[in-house]
Chains A and B, each alone.
Chain A
Amino acid sequence: MRLARLWMLAAWLGFAAPALAQTTPMPPSSAPQQQATQPGQNGGPLQVEITGGVGAPTPIAIPDMPTTAVANTPAGTTDVLGRKLAGVITDDLRNSGLFSPVAANRLRPITVPEVTAPAFDYWSTTGAQVLVEGYIRANGDGSLTVGCYLYDVYAKTELTRQGFVVPPADWRRAGHKCADMVYTRLTGEGPYFDSRVVYVSETGPKAHRIKRLAVMDQDGANHRFLTNGQSIVLTPSFAPNRQSIVYMSYIGQRPAIYIYDLGSGRQRLLVQSSHMTFAPHFSPDGRWVLFSMSIAGNTDIYRVSASGGTPQRLTNTPGINTGGSYSPDGSRIVFESDRSGVQQIYVMNADGSGQHRISFGSGRFATPVWSPKGDLIAFTHIGSTFQIGVMRPDGSGEKLLTDGWQDEGPTWSPNGRVIMFFRTTQGGSGRSDLWSVDKTGVNERRIPTPLDGSDPSWGPLRP
């Protein structure tokens, strides 16, 4: 898999607007500007204060990408790919909930020279505030080059640009990378579109459910099954290196933890134990796997080297301690415990010391997951229904984000902005689907999967 960045020019070009000649770069933030002057009276500038703006999705225009010369590739001709690329970028940005792409009938075709000299006056009539233009070119060695440019329509400036060289089979990834560039520059968040999700694909009647591991791009494309469904699989979790997946399987009727290697397609048992082991999670550096082991009705959290070996116990209290998840720096672990009588969320140091409870709201709290940004912990809140929520690592700022009948199993996007989870419908059918929601609680939407889905785990960003 080859994806090389050709060039990446200054992300901060937004200041060199022709219309805005005299501008300066951002000064250090530590310069508080106290207004000493009376508004506009002693020669100082007039003072105008604007407060509390709206938060509508940003209108964005993404015309089809022209090609330098129409050429055949294994993925199709370059002119068709140029149209599809614009479609991938459009879908990514729309699905984020933060952008409102201009309708296709208001877009007009552009030429290759126009990509670097956009018709700002035209695009401002479409209502777009920002504009994405790009081109596609077939290279002599069989690869594709995709150029991607982002413009501010009103400031009439280029905000950033990137170029990608991909094998034709990976053309969608070029689209995701372009969308990530746009998203990152405009939102200030990290990228996440070029990532994959592993989950449990389910089919069949409730009593005889066939559960298979499946992996797909975050937008549902390039879907494939990893296991054949002969054994039930649960709670997969992506490794930070994206090459392996740790999960629990009922091979031989006893649940145990396995590691699946995406490259070779092989799986191996991680923990040799006569006891039940479950709820595995990789550490951020990929060297450790946290898991739970149940011994004589008492469940504790252990860690084991990702290459196997002797597990080390981290909790040692009566009752159930499970669902461990590392903070992004690997120094702390969030987990759930019923030591107080009901399931609550606790945080401890990576060596098991300093255990303390952080959730004190009504109801029960389960399956905590630390955001890759470190600022929030997502969890399943169990009250009259199951809901997804977030709180800060100190337990403050608790907020429920979803309102389904049974929403559970949160997992974070690589940038810590979006949470994916699974929703089970009310009633006996027990059908479940994958959903995602923005961490601010907006943009709840279903992720398309060929069959039912549960237990999603969002993998890291691809390089």
Chain B
Amino acid sequence: MNLDDMARRLPAERDLPAARKQILKEHLMTELRQADPTRPRTRRPRRRRRQGEHRRTVLVAGAVLTAAAVAIATATAVGTHASPPAPKAAQPAAPATAAQLLAKIAAAAARQPAPVVRDSDFTYIRSEVAYEVDSISNGHETSSMEKLHERQIWLPVANVCATGLLIEQGERTPISPFPVANGKVDRDPPKGTPMPNFTCPSEGHLGDTTYRLLQSIPTQPDALLAYLKAGKKWTNDDPPTEIGDMIRETIMPPALAAALYRLAATLPGATLVPHATNVAGRAGIGIMWTSKTARQVYKNEWIFDKTTLRFIGEKTYDPGTGRLTGESAIIQQAFTAKAGQVP
């Protein structure tokens, strides 16, 4: 046998399975952040990142939390101020279980009028956030909560390739699936730079959604659950985490919001928190999600306004120690005609 012969007998090269490649890369990047003594990192929220997700990265780095659903409280771009659901004359008894509360939240969401939104609009969310940040120096890792600060984000309504904007802690960062360098979107970066694996224009996908994508997601319970589980193939997130990620920093179409909360009511792991307060001091009622399975370890609280049952913020905890690791309050959400335009 000669060497050329041998080379010909070698099996053909193969690609790493795409999903696995993404997991290996994310793992590597996470390990580097942990190993690097110089860079502070935000520990929470650790959430999925999918291929080409520069936007996702920014969201993660910014450590968000935000908005959801229900209410397009201030749809100023189109002037449709959604009114809160009229308080019933005779309030039914307070919900006794998480499932009951989620059912009520779903019903309140379903009553919201659907806003009129143009493809060229941006979803605007203003929130107050603080997250735990880790820094490592001299081999010692210390964790501390960020100071509570304002975060404003504009995300395209119909096409994730359109450039959005994040303003947080004095920094203006473009939001794009394309690489962002020196504050600018680079659509023609050096070879090898990770690029979005979809073609533009795109309504995005679970994990990097647009309002138009959310409008297209099935609202039938079985179909919706199947949709979320299909997303799990990429994220390993279980449905409560997927839903939590979806309602955060998003204006949610009323029909999908209702469907998500109805679905959430059927999922295990939720407990009712009768008195919950968001970081802005607004009193509410909460749903605590806990999971300690091998893959999914979390303790997250969704907070809803007591009267309107709108999502008003979130808290995350270390599931081991119970220590608070992040909190947010949604202050305002609206559609605007341009990124950077304040409603």
A and B interact physically: no
